[in-house]
Amino acid sequence: MEGAVVLRSPCPVACTLDLVGDKWSLLVVRDLLRGNVTFGELQNSPEGIPTNILADRLRRFEEAGLIDKSAYQDHPVRHAYGLTEKGKALSDVLLALVRWGKKHIPGTRTLESPALHSVGRRKPRRKQDRKS
Amino acid sequence: MEGAVVLRSPCPVACTLDLVGDKWSLLVVRDLLRGNVTFGELQNSPEGIPTNILADRLRRFEEAGLIDKSAYQDHPVRHAYGLTEKGKALSDVLLALVRWGKKHIPGTRTLESPALHSVGRRKPRRKQDRKS
């Protein structure tokens, strides 16, 4: 469906904001960059993303080619999500936001966790693994 | 009022998005960087920003210290808006969005105009100047 999108202007800023210009999208990208791969893990963001918004963003990101998903469990089906190269490239936008926020908004700090750039899809534990 | 803001998390990305995380805010910053200083000029963005949204963003940006305004005409009062250093520093975020958009969204191109970095508050023409 990517080719069917109508651009509101040819400006690359406007077009990128049409995709990720809201309060949640880039936080989902942040959490995927930090190594969270399952719906449950992504739901545990410190900002408490609402379930319906997370589901919507994952669907839109997949349609836009920012992420892909694969089933890591069959009964019930559970998916792991990972950024594509196109999605990972948004890390430059995130880093610019990190630098601006840390410099200009008192009380902010980088979250303790894998660095933004240490990207790689971690294999989620299967249900039976967790039980053992 | 800047100090009274409640942070939804200490993450600098989340806090910056609370300020400019929507489809319009960074376009207003873009247009201020491009040398548009009056309400009318900012309203003429290629994306056709709605008047109420533009007024809301200018008010919020002024409260957050991203812009300041000065009257350039008294009857009726007309204001010129300009980015503060804090506001101008968002150009790094915009440049990251420009680079990502141009690379990953077909059909985008940089708008013809003063470069993003040639920032400076242009003096708007007074009404009587325009009449002459």
Is the CB of B12 less than 8 angstroms away from the CB of A92? Answer: no
Residue B2 has pLDDT above 70, yes or no: no
Q: What is the mean pLDDT of residues B116-129?
A: 54
Per-state percent for chain A, helix, strand, coil, to nearest 5 = 45, 10, 40
* Residue listed under structure tokens 């009056």: B38
- State how far the Cα of A92 lies from the Cα of B97, in Å rounded to an integer: 8
CA A59 distance to own-chain centroid? 11
- Closest chain A residue by Cα to residue B15: A101
pLDDT value, residue A20: 98
Q: Do A17 and B23 touch (CB under 8 A)?
A: yes
Please give the helix or strand (H or E) that residue A64 lies within, else none.
none
Q: To the nearest whole number, what is the mean pLDDT of chain B?
A: 87
Predicted pLDDT of residue A115: 46
* ipTM computed for the complex: 0.84
pLDDT score, position A105: 96
Among candidates A9, A13, A47 on the partner chain, residue whose Cβ is nearest the Cβ of B94:
A13
Residues above pLDDT 70, as percent of chain A: 81
Kindly report the CATH class assigned to A11-124. mainly alpha
Question: Which of B5, B17, B26 is the best mutation test for A, with the most CBs of A within 10 A?
Answer: B17
For residue B116, the chain A residue with the least C-alpha distance is: A13
pLDDT level of residue A35 (50, 70, 90 thresholds): very high
Partner residue opposite B12 with nearest CB, options A22, A47, A101: A101
pLDDT at res. A113: 56
Q: How many helices (H) and strands (E) does chain B have?
A: 7, 2
pLDDT at residue B120 is higher than 90: no
For the stretch A77-129, pLDDT in tens is 999 999 999 999 999 999 999 999 999 999 999 876 554 444 445 667 665 55
More confident residue, B3 or B23: B23
CATH numeric code, B2-107: 1.10.10.10
In this prediction, residue B125 has a pLDDT band, given cuts at 50, 70 and 90, of low
Determine the residue type at B102: K
- The closest alpha carbon to A20, from B59, B51, B26, belongs to B26
Q: Which residues of B touch A95 (CB under 8 A)?
A: 96
Contact assignment for B13 to A22 by CB distance below 8 Å: no
